[in-house]
Structures are given as C-alpha cells and as structure tokens.
C-alpha cells in the first residue's frame, strides 16, 4: 500500500502543503477498501478470517498529482491504482543537466560546462519538508515549497522546459552526477522538484550521500580533493504525476539540516564545533561526464 502520507498522517487527506481531493473513493487517500486493509491480511494466515480473499494484484498506489482545480481529479492525477508488482515495468526518462538554457534537457550536453556551489558548515541549508518524523527539531514532513531556500547561492537549481503533456512516474528516481570538492570530504544533497505554473517549487523527493561513504562503498577509497567522481544515487521511490505546464526540477546542495547531519569537510565523521571547513564543490556536465536524471516513466491509465 503506497499512500500520499507522512509518518503521522496515515489515511489523512493533507500532507505538507498539499491537500488531496475527497470527491470519490478513487481520489480520496483516506479510503482504504476492506480487501486492502492490513489487519484483514494479517488475520487470514492466523485462521481468524477464513473468508477473506486477497486482491489479485500485489500493490495499491496513490499517484500524487497537481492540486490545481483544472487537473486535480483528472486521471492519473490523485488517483488510486492497483499494480501487480512494484515497481511496475517502466521506461527510463532521461533529463540531462546543463548550466545553460533551461538546465534540464532531453538532449545530452554538447561541449563542457561546470557550475560551483559552496558548503559552509556554519550556515547550513535548513530542512523544509521531506521524509521526516514530525518532531521538534524537524517539524515539516512531506511536500513543501522550496522557493525561499532556492534563493541561496549555495543551492543549484535546474529546470526542464514546461511539459507539453503529463509525465507520470512510478518507481525509483535516480541521478548521476560528476562532482568534485576542494576539501577532504563533502555531502551531496539532491531534491526532485515539481515547479508549478504559479511559481511554487514543490518537493517531490530528496536524498543525500556523503562522498567519502560513497567512494569507499564503491571501492575507490577516501576521496581525494580536486578529483572528479561519478556518483549515482537513488532520490526516492514515488508514484507521482508531473502535470502539463509544470517543470521537472532538480536542486543540488550540500546541507539539509537537521534532516541530515552536517559534514564538517575535514575528515571527521560529525560536525565538531568550529572545526568545520568551507567546501567548494563543482558539478561537471559534458559529453563525457554526463550528469543526468532518470525518471521511471509509467502511465497507470494505459
């Protein structure tokens, strides 16, 4: 069961800054058919519910869509769908990062370009939404507008052209980035963004990776300053619809605090008072260093 909920809003109709329609069972995220109730499933093998028949399909997923009235309940926006597996068989939809034009393009880059950003451990980008527990230190969970954070110079933003048609996705969104830092370590934080025509930049999914963890995990050892590394990371699994007229977006930064601990950049595993160092990071985009986003395109109405 994949619903549009945060940890404390299960079967709710509002999460973050999005409110979902309730005009029918097909679009109401609070309506769970008896056949999909977890308690019913649990009771059957215990012999307490012998007449219960499990659904033929294995997955029930809510495809989060636009909250704009014109498309809010237009399939596949904000609809429940049954799938026989997760993820379903999808097509890779690639968008390539570039420093010019719209920044996210269906065409691979021609020529070489770079763009830099700074990580200052003493001045982190603060968390706004995401897969958080709603506790005092991280109050926001779910989709929130990122516009205010994107005004910072230490946040890189990339946007596609306005979509001519809906772009539904189901499964893992992944990104490959060619990055380097002048420090002994840094973090790479990525946010998948849905830019609305009204100017909102709504968070769809986000994730982060510590460069030293990644290089060691992939057998490269500790990262060397001023060395370009190819980093591939899973941004998140989503059933989502980017609406017609919207733009697909990527934000790149090196802090997202307190959702993720701050990397001091000096080789220590945790931030240690004033000992953190500023990390000057660079993203490479070229014909040989192809930084790219991969979306799992899947139309549940087809």
Picking from 247, 253, 281, 230, the residue whose alpha carbon sits closest to that of residue 103 is 247
CA atoms in the 13 A half-sphere facing the CB of 92: 8
Q: Is 266 exposed, middle or buried (0-12, 13-18, 19+ CB in 10 A)?
A: middle
pLDDT at 136: 61
Question: pLDDT (tens digit, 9 = 90+) per residue, 164-183?
Answer: 999 999 999 999 999 999 99
Lowest mean pLDDT among 9-13, 158-162, 241-245: 9-13
Question: pLDDT (tens digit, 9 = 90+) per residue, 17-56?
Answer: 999 999 999 999 999 988 888 888 788 778 777 778 888 8
Pair of tokens at residue 44? 């059957």
pLDDT at 263: 95
Question: pLDDT (tens digit, 9 = 90+) per residue, 193-209?
Answer: 999 999 999 999 999 99
Max CA separation in the chain (angstroms): 66
Q: What share of the chain has pLDDT > 70, as a percent?
A: 96
Lowest mean pLDDT among 43-57, 89-103, 146-160: 43-57
The fold of 91-297 is Jelly Rolls (2.60.120)
Residues in the chain: 302
Picking from 248, 93, 94, 99, the residue whose alpha carbon sits closest to that of residue 159 is 248
Highest mean pLDDT, choosing among 45-49, 136-140, 285-289:
285-289
pLDDT at 40: 80
3-state secondary structure of 5: coil
């Amino acid at each position: 069961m994949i619903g549009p909920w945060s940890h404390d809003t299960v079967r709710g109709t509002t999460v973050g800054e999005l409110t979902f329609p309730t005009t029918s069972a097909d679009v109401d995220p609070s309506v769970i058919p008896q056949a999909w109730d977890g308690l019913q499933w649990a009771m059957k093998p215990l012999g307490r519910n012998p007449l219960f028949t499990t659904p033929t399909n294995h997955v029930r997923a809510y495809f989060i869509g636009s909250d704009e009235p014109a498309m809010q309940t237009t399939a596949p926006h904000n609809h429940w769908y049954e799938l026989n597996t997760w993820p379903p068989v999808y097509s890779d939809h690639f968008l390539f990062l570039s420093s010019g034009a719209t920044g996210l393009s269906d065409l691979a880059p021609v020529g070489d370009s770079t763009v830099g950003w700074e990580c200052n451990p003493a001045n982190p980008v603060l968390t706004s939404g995401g897969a958080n527990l709603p506790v005092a230190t991280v109050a926001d969970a779910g989709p929130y507008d990122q516009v205010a954070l994107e005004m910072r110079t230490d946040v890189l933003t990339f946007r596609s052209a306005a979509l001519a048609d809906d772009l539904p996705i189901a499964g893992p969104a992944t990104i490959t980035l060619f990055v380097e830092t002048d420090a002994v370590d840094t973090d790479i934080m990525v946010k998948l963004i849905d830019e609305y025509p009204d100017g909102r930049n709504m968070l769809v999914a986000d994730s982060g990776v510590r460069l030293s963890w990644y290089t060691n995990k992939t057998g490269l050892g500790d990262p060397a300053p001023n060395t370009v590394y190819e980093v591939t990371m899973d941004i998140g699994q989503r059933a989502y619809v980017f609406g017609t007229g919207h733009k697909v977006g990527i934000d790149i930064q090196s802090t997202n605090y307190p959702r993720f601990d701050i990397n001091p950049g000096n080789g220590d595993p945790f931030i240690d008072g004033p000992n953190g160092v500023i990390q000057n990071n660079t993203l490479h985009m070229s014909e040989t260093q192809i930084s790219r986003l991969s979306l799992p395109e899947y139309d549940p109405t087809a």
